[in-house]
Structure 1
Amino acid sequence: MFIGQFQHSLDQKGRLIIPSKFREALGQNFVLTKGLDGCLFVYPRDEWAELELKLKTLPFTQKDARAFIRFFFAGATEVEMDKQGRILIPPQLREHARIEKDVVIIGVSNRVEIWSQEQWEAYSAKAAESYEDIAETLDLGI
């Protein structure tokens, strides 16, 4: 399970240090892809395989299903952590998430999300305004 929030910066080569708390659960090789809401999603190999099975059940005859699957898989890449716990984020994924230098890495249960600090702060501020209302409509019982 991935939880927590961490701040890091990209180096000049576009490499990002993965927080040590996430490294073991991610493993040496994992999948990085375009996420939703302007971030990147990071999946351990086993979680990626489960997600792939779910996406395969979507009806390819539906235009929205085809579009989502194309977007999701075309934006995916396998990454490998180096000995310092860094990954290289490809330019097209940095562009998608508007990542230039400062990054926020968050744990979201079965995946990790990578956000540009600006994007995360804007999203987080907006979501915080309705956090309690959202919880109420979801009837989480917490």
Structure 2
Amino acid sequence: MITRAQDRCLAIWPVATFIEQTQALRNAPSSSKQVRDYQRMLASGASDETPDKQGRITIPPHLRAYAGLDKDCVVVGAMNRVEVWDAAAWQSYSDEQETAFAEMNDEVFPGL
């Protein structure tokens, strides 16, 4: 499954992992506007893509447009998913996050 993610990137999961990750979202109260908005944004962009014989997938045009994928891309492993970023957007995001990442300690992530 490939869909839009926060920060104007795309997230790619195996179908089973996507279902597992979104279980809580499916069970969330639809009476909450915030829940409905998130469900709509995530689900409306989701596309079940099947890899070809060489393991490649097609990124639908609406998702390429959302993430600004025109030319150079960066593929980032993000624990339980793969993210696809426009190269310039990734560089900007990475530069902004570097200081915060370097300052994270046991108070934020005990045992790391």
Do structure 1's residue 41 and structure 2's residue 11 form an aligned pair? Answer: yes
Do structure 1's residue 65 and structure 2's residue 35 form an aligned pair? Answer: yes
Q: Secondary structure at 2:43's aligned position in 1?
A: helix
Change (3 A) 1:48 1:139: closer
Describe the superposition over 1:77-135 as per-residue Cα deviations: whole angstroms up to 9, x where unpaired. Answer: 000111122211111101111111111111111111111111111100100022123x2
Q: Secondary structure at 2:77's aligned position in 1?
A: strand
Higher helix share: 2
- The higher-RCO structure (CA 8 Å, 6+ apart) is 1
Q: Secondary structure at 1:106's aligned position in 2?
A: strand
Percent of aligned pairs with the same residue? 34
Aligned partner of 1:104 in structure 2 is 74
The partner residue of 2:24 within 54, 60, 69 is 54
Q: Tell me which amino acid in the other structure corresponds to 2:54.
A: Q
Aligned partner of 2:111 in structure 1 is 141
Q: Tell me which amino acid in the other structure corresponds to 1:83.
A: K
RMSD: 1.2
- In the superposition, the TM-score normalised over structure 2's length comes to 0.92
Higher strand share: 1
Residue correspondences, number: 111
Whole-angstrom distance in 2 between the partners of 1:82 and 1:141: 41
Displacement of 1:52 in angstroms is: 2.7
